[in-house]
Structure 1
Amino acid sequence: MRNLLISSAILLASACASPPQAEAPAELAATPAAPAGFTTYTAQQLYDTISYSVAAGRGRCFAPDGQSLLTSSDETGIFNAYTLSPDGTKTALTQSAENSTYAESYFPADGRVLVEADGGGNELSHLYVREVDGTLKDLTPGEKTRAYFLGWNQSGETFYVATNARDEATDDVYAYSTADYSSRMIYQNDGLEIGAISPDGKLLALVENVSSADANLYLYDLGAAAPEKTLITPHDGNIAYTAYGFTPDSQKLVYGTNEHGEFTEAWTHDVATDEKAALVSADWDVLAVSHSPTGRYRVSTVNADGLWEVTFLDTVTGKPLALSGVPDGEVTQVCFNDDETRVAFGVNTDTSPRNIYTADLATGVATRLTNALSPAIDEANLVTASIVRYPSFDGLEIPAIFYVPKTASAETPVPAIVWVHGGPGGQSQKGYTADIQFLVNNGYAVLAANNRGSSGYGKTFFHMDDKRHGEEDLQDIVWGRTYLESLDYIDGDRIGILGGSYGGFMTAAALAFEPEAFDVGVNIFGVTNWVRTLESIPAWWGSFRVALYDEMGDPATDAERHRAISPLFHASNIVKPMLVVQGANDPRVLQVESDEIVAAVRANGVPVEYVVFPDEGHGFQKKANRITAAEAYLGFLDKYLKGKAASPAPAAAESLN
């Protein structure tokens, strides 16, 4: 389990063998000339989009009438919950102006909905009921409480919530009455991860993270007179397991495991017989498996070389369901209405943010309900990424997602950025990223490198950086520059590095430990003092602390190594300009991390620009702040990489230049 620093979601520890080779776009033919009428867009224009999400997963996204959808959208500049009618009409359900509020689920039989929101990015999310009259009731109050929705039982009379209200470090499970919201604890946790609850409400799947490479799965019988955990995955050695969910009849648990090869497969465990059987496998990681309400349709998601591919299987006919009217892209957030006549999902492409679609399951015809991209943006001016691979210092092939400006040519080579994802253990993937498209549209090539230790390429690749962070994985990033210098449409004298969270650490590490490797660095809430970060991780990380310590090292015994790889303690080596961007409410990478690295580099007489958002956490939720951050990235790069004069700093954030 990794990717802990960049996202609240915890991803399965998938990793990678050497995948099939993909040709790099080494010739100019791979980067077509800019079309006539090519337009360069401002951040305001590119961020004048609407981010949509469907209340899928464990929730009910369709209204009881089976027509309207429950969605989240940031069209006001901050996320709120909406209903989306079959003709695309949106109706706001919440009107928050301060804290992003996300739709979780319709109630089964009426117009009430569940929503969740934290406080300014502090990741202490509470679960609320939005009553039919529009009022909100906090179901999980408490200053340090964190809660999340687990699902409904089959009758719809009960819903389940995980919360750390009793103990900050672990999540207990409560059953709530749909009628009056009364609750009772049904599982007192002793430090495990809540995997899934069965539709009949009788079983819990629990995950024990033994290490970053090893896990156990347990079943807990909620109805037993003396309930206890039963280990269902006895094994020797390092094998990762995770729970995907139960089948609709509650008879089988669907789980993921890399027991049988490099990649994660989906298997089933029969609750009555303990028999296990393979369900879905591929030449890549199987990320998720879910079902329609009766189980007629099975949905499986595979991470195919940085692109999520979804298959809809009709289990009655045994054939995949073909959908028409869906663009090539990443399909996510799939959910069905109760009678299984319609399905809703989101589609994200390289040149457009996620749009929401519904499809008639009888015909397979899909209809788009939203227009996420601003009408001011012509998609022809945006760039479709290529999958490339380049050799690192030891010959290991490093996969990457490569964006090349349409204006690039051998005659007019462009500057470039090596983009480093978060984690540890994250992955850069294809799909729309506004920050990347903004930089590419404004003349920067972006190589989003998936260094060793990234997920998605097999367990061997994934674990290559265990307790070696800032070493070989950093060299993979440095050799990204070597690859870029080999391309005639890239200006090899103007190459920078940019990353967020763990990628921010890699940015600062590159500047500190390879001070001549890059010309500039953009550090977005990056770890610079691993000693402090690993000692101050939030209490609610609970069981994930074990996996993180296994991966990074325990601060009680590995503090010397943590100090050795921390850029703060080697900041005197930094000689290239740096931009630092930070959220003041970040619980994962504290603001003091950024404060100290800025002060240390300024003491070298090196140009440093610093932007702090007082109302953000680990990742920027408010559209105005995302625009401000993007303008800061471009202004800094234009000033120190292209040599242009920077535009005046926007006033939406606290600038500490």
Structure 2
Amino acid sequence: MTPLPARSELPPLVPREVFLGNPTRAQARISPDGTRLTYLAPSSTNVLNVWLRTIGKSDDKMITNDTKRGIRAYFWAEDGKHVLYLQDVGGNENFHVYSVDLASNQVKDLTPFEGVRAQNLLVDRNHPNEVLVGLNQRDKSVFDMHRIDLTTGESKLDTQNPGDVQGWGTDAAFVIRAAEAQGSDGSTIIRVRDSATAPWRDLITLSAEENGSFVDFTADGKSVYVETSLGSDVTRLVRLDATSGKELELLASDPRCDVGGIMVNDVTHKVEAVGFNYLRNEWKVLDPALTADFDALKKAHSGDFAIVSRDHPDRTWIVSYTVDNGPVATYAFDRKSKKATFLFVNQPALEKAQLGSREPVVIPARDGEKLVSYLTCPVGVPRKNLPMVLYVHGGPWARDVYGYDPTAQWLANRGYAALQVNFRASTGFGKRFLHLGDKQWGGTMQDDLTDAVKWAVDQGIADPKRVAIMGGSYGGYATLAGLTFTPDVYKCGVDIVGPSNLKTLLGSIPPYWATIRKTFDVRMGEMDKDSVLNYKCSPLFHVDDIKAPLLIGQGQNDPRVNVRESDQIAAAMRAKNLPVEYVVYSDEGHGFARPENRMDFYGRAENFLSKHLGGRSEAFVEVKGAAAQMK
């Protein structure tokens, strides 16, 4: 094995907890009246909770008391009297909506139904005491919309799902007047109605090969904003007539990529700005009144920014900045003075760390497709003949984006090049690129990853004898596929909650994915009709070809990738006397939410990679409080 560069050439080892543990503060949100700020921060027992501060004071206090998984999603109610957050149990993803009364500090479960999942939460500033919530209480496969009174907790059925709706939208009067449904052929149908009692009508239908979604109604309710790829490879933001579906106006588009973030004013219901993310996020400002604001924000801090919260008077914006080689910074922006006031970074210890640049690169695939990718190399050593980890994103209908990536920086600090590839089937690059991945799990989708490794080797960046593959969810599948279908490419693999058998995966998806089931049929293959294809592309049935050691991490309660997916490939490898380490976390689901479990697994992964690739590592000791079970 070629040795790593001398340890003295690399920067100091940053504790993995700095990269992969809880942030010190994150997700700032401003109150509707602009006087208070909330954010996520750890409790004294290192569990993420919501904290509250009066702006201009240092009276920070914790207003929730989660003691297990930590809160990861929350927002202000429009009345300014309540903060709402989501929480599940043990990673089962049956999220409940909780309300914190800021006057009494009382926490109330607004959806106290066992085995029921809440999603599609909607709020409106003109109806501050209400929240609309989708619940699969009546039928586990679909979500009916319920209107909940925040003061009393009373819930009433607002709109019943006819059986095919996957999402809902409201108009300026907070009436549900839009629905996104899936047709039997995988098409997306955007429906509208004229009032809460009027019949639904199909406004536009997007075939399974098209992309699109509802965005908002105009203030008068006569037009709708939608993202659509009709007539284009990429999605465009357009305004349609709410009666005829005729396109009235093209608001924004980019020939390189789909529409990204959309900034809509919640009073005027006008689109103010649209983001497009090819290599990096670029904002197109549509409302001239915001041009000076965006110009000022570009100068306030380096990196790409997003407006994450606004008060009702629209005087103050909370803005987050992401850079490739430092922590995420949060500012309060005063629109009148155009001054951005620094609030915090998510991990102060990173400010002094020497982190690698996360470079956008476009890699050619063997058939000429362009793969937008991100390369992070260690600091202090030449970019030559490095051990490399191919870190594969999940989804697969998702994408890697520019900015700070804790896993990539952790790997680079240990001495590895980290390569992240947007393989075909990744989203954001148009419908053609997305659908090039249809029924290509283990096929051309995997070829793209292999081609990216070859590119890194040909560039002299990666040592071909020291390449690992690692990822979660689909990235875990890609890890298993890499070790089985291209066994000579990888020295080892790290699989996190990855499926090993596509037939059993398709047979065990959650019941509430029924309204998007046809998407899986189109993009992966039907469980029975395409059984031969799914057998061929399932790593479980090609275990004999594995040559490299494997580390598997799995949540016991995973509702998306059942624990049996990991059980069966670990058992198959052991039956062949192939090297596999398998750890299950009894209180986790699709990934590791609790920091104790994250530190435990990534400690194991760090030492596993060091053993097989030669990188640096902290000593591993089993983490107190982790729910690890070696299988």
Q: Which runs of 5+ in 2 are unaligned?
A: 1-5
Question: Which of 375, 381, 393 does residue 354 from structure 2 map onto?
Answer: 381
- Aligned residue pairs total 617
Answering whether residue 34 of structure 2 is matched by residue 66 of structure 1, we say: yes
Q: Report the CA distance between 1:125 and its aligned residue.
A: 0.4
Are the aligned partners of 1:298 and 1:313 in contact in 2 as well (CA < 8 Å)?
yes
Q: Distance in 1 between matches of 2:220 and 2:600?
A: 49
In the alignment, what sits opposite 1:182? 154
Q: Distance in 2 between matches of 1:527 and 1:459?
A: 25
Are the aligned partners of 1:54 and 1:333 in contact in 2 as well (CA < 8 Å)?
no
Letter in 1 for 2:173: D
In the alignment, what sits opposite 1:338? 312
In the alignment, what sits opposite 1:97? 67
Q: Distance in 2 between matches of 1:621 and 1:51?
A: 16
Are the aligned partners of 2:215 and 2:226 in contact in 1 as well (CA < 8 Å)?
yes
The answer to which of 268-277 and 328-337 deviates more is 268-277
In the alignment, what sits opposite 2:239? 268
The answer to which of 175-184 and 606-615 deviates more is 175-184
- Residues 235 and 544 of structure 1: is their aligned pair in 2 closer, same or farther, counting only changes over 3 Å? closer
In the alignment, what sits opposite 1:127? 97
Are the aligned partners of 2:159 and 2:176 in contact in 1 as well (CA < 8 Å)?
no
Q: Distance in 1 between matches of 2:351 and 2:206?
A: 54
Q: Distance in 2 between matches of 1:204 and 1:477?
A: 43
Q: Distance in 2 between matches of 1:488 and 1:48?
A: 33
Letter in 1 for 2:50: A
In the alignment, what sits opposite 2:83? 113
- Residues 396 and 525 of structure 1: is their aligned pair in 2 closer, same or farther, counting only changes over 3 Å? same
In the alignment, what sits opposite 1:78? 47
Question: Which of 184, 187, 196 does residue 223 from structure 1 map onto?
Answer: 196
CA offsets 1:564-604 (integer angstroms, 9 cap, x no match): 21111111211111111111111111111111111211222
- Residues 359 and 387 of structure 1: is their aligned pair in 2 closer, same or farther, counting only changes over 3 Å? same
Q: How does 1:626-637 map to 2 (within 5 A)?
A: 626-637=598-609
Q: Distance in 1 between matches of 2:332 and 2:545?
A: 54
Q: Distance in 2 between matches of 1:483 and 1:212?
A: 38
- Residues 378 and 80 of structure 1: is their aligned pair in 2 closer, same or farther, counting only changes over 3 Å? closer
Q: Report the CA distance between 1:102 and its aligned residue.
A: 4.3
The answer to which of 488-497 and 510-519 deviates more is 488-497
CA offsets 1:513-570 (integer angstroms, 9 cap, x no match): 1111211111111010111110110011131112122211121322222122111111
Are the aligned partners of 1:186 and 1:222 in contact in 2 as well (CA < 8 Å)?
no
Letter in 2 for 1:263: V
Question: Which of 302, 320, 323 does residue 328 from structure 1 map onto?
Answer: 302
In the alignment, what sits opposite 1:239? 210
Are the aligned partners of 1:252 and 1:270 in contact in 2 as well (CA < 8 Å)?
yes
Q: Report the CA distance between 1:422 and its aligned residue.
A: 0.7
Are the aligned partners of 1:537 and 1:588 in contact in 2 as well (CA < 8 Å)?
yes
Q: Report the CA distance between 1:219 and its aligned residue.
A: 0.9
Q: Distance in 1 between matches of 2:173 and 2:244?
A: 18
Q: How does 1:7-86 map to 2 (within 5 A)?
A: 38-47=11-20, 50=23, 53-54=26-27, 61-74=29-42, 77-86=46-55
Question: Which of 405, 429, 438 does residue 433 from structure 1 map onto?
Answer: 405
Q: Distance in 2 between matches of 1:118 and 1:330?
A: 31
Q: Report the CA distance between 1:511 and its aligned residue.
A: 0.8
Are the aligned partners of 1:583 and 1:613 in contact in 2 as well (CA < 8 Å)?
yes
Q: Distance in 1 between matches of 2:136 and 2:596?
A: 32
Q: Report the CA distance between 1:407 and its aligned residue.
A: 3.3
Q: Distance in 1 between matches of 2:270 and 2:226?
A: 17
In the alignment, what sits opposite 1:461? 433
Are the aligned partners of 2:78 and 2:125 in contact in 1 as well (CA < 8 Å)?
no
- Residues 392 and 236 of structure 1: is their aligned pair in 2 closer, same or farther, counting only changes over 3 Å? closer
Letter in 1 for 2:357: T
Answering whether residue 461 of structure 2 is matched by residue 492 of structure 1, we say: no
Question: Once superposed, what is the RMSD of the aligned Cα atoms?
Answer: 2.9
Q: Report the CA distance between 1:82 and its aligned residue.
A: 2.2
Are the aligned partners of 2:325 and 2:357 in contact in 1 as well (CA < 8 Å)?
yes
Q: Distance in 2 between matches of 1:563 and 1:628?
A: 33
The answer to which of 433-442 and 101-110 deviates more is 101-110
Q: Report the CA distance between 1:52 and its aligned residue.
A: 5.0
Q: How does 1:326-405 map to 2 (within 5 A)?
A: 326-332=300-306, 334-375=308-349, 377-379=350-352, 381-405=354-378
Q: Distance in 2 between matches of 1:273 and 1:559?
A: 42
Are the aligned partners of 1:52 and 1:354 in contact in 2 as well (CA < 8 Å)?
no
When normalised by structure 2's length, the TM-score is 0.90
Q: Distance in 2 between matches of 1:629 and 1:589?
A: 18
In the alignment, what sits opposite 2:266? 293
CA offsets 1:224-260 (integer angstroms, 9 cap, x no match): 3xx3211111567843220123345545422111113
Give the share of equivalent positions with the same residue, in percent. Answer: 27
SS at match of 2:128: coil
CA offsets 1:115-163 (integer angstroms, 9 cap, x no match): 2111121111001111232221111122211113211262424321111
Q: Report the CA distance between 1:297 and its aligned residue.
A: 7.4
- Residues 216 and 328 of structure 1: is their aligned pair in 2 closer, same or farther, counting only changes over 3 Å? farther
Q: Report the CA distance between 1:315 and its aligned residue.
A: 4.7
Question: Which of 373, 386, 391 does residue 414 from structure 1 map onto?
Answer: 386
SS at match of 2:368: coil
In the alignment, what sits opposite 1:610? 582
SS at match of 1:72: strand
Q: Distance in 2 between matches of 1:309 and 1:556?
A: 43
SS at match of 2:348: coil
- Residues 64 and 503 of structure 1: is their aligned pair in 2 closer, same or farther, counting only changes over 3 Å? closer
- Residues 373 and 72 of structure 1: is their aligned pair in 2 closer, same or farther, counting only changes over 3 Å? closer
- Residues 449 and 154 of structure 1: is their aligned pair in 2 closer, same or farther, counting only changes over 3 Å? same
Q: Report the CA distance between 1:74 and its aligned residue.
A: 4.5
Q: Report the CA distance between 1:111 and its aligned residue.
A: 2.5
Letter in 2 for 1:98: K
Q: Report the CA distance between 1:277 and its aligned residue.
A: 1.6
When normalised by structure 1's length, the TM-score is 0.87
Q: Distance in 2 between matches of 1:592 and 1:252?
A: 48
Q: Distance in 2 between matches of 1:135 and 1:317?
A: 39
Q: How does 1:537-548 map to 2 (within 5 A)?
A: 537-548=509-520
The answer to which of 332-341 and 123-132 deviates more is 332-341
- Residues 270 and 408 of structure 1: is their aligned pair in 2 closer, same or farther, counting only changes over 3 Å? same
In the alignment, what sits opposite 1:526? 498
Q: Distance in 2 between matches of 1:34 and 1:314?
A: 52
SS at match of 1:381: coil
SS at match of 1:555: coil
- Residues 317 and 107 of structure 1: is their aligned pair in 2 closer, same or farther, counting only changes over 3 Å? closer
SS at match of 1:217: strand
Are the aligned partners of 2:424 and 2:436 in contact in 1 as well (CA < 8 Å)?
yes
Q: Report the CA distance between 1:488 and its aligned residue.
A: 2.9
- Residues 87 and 559 of structure 1: is their aligned pair in 2 closer, same or farther, counting only changes over 3 Å? farther
Q: Distance in 2 between matches of 1:281 and 1:168?
A: 38
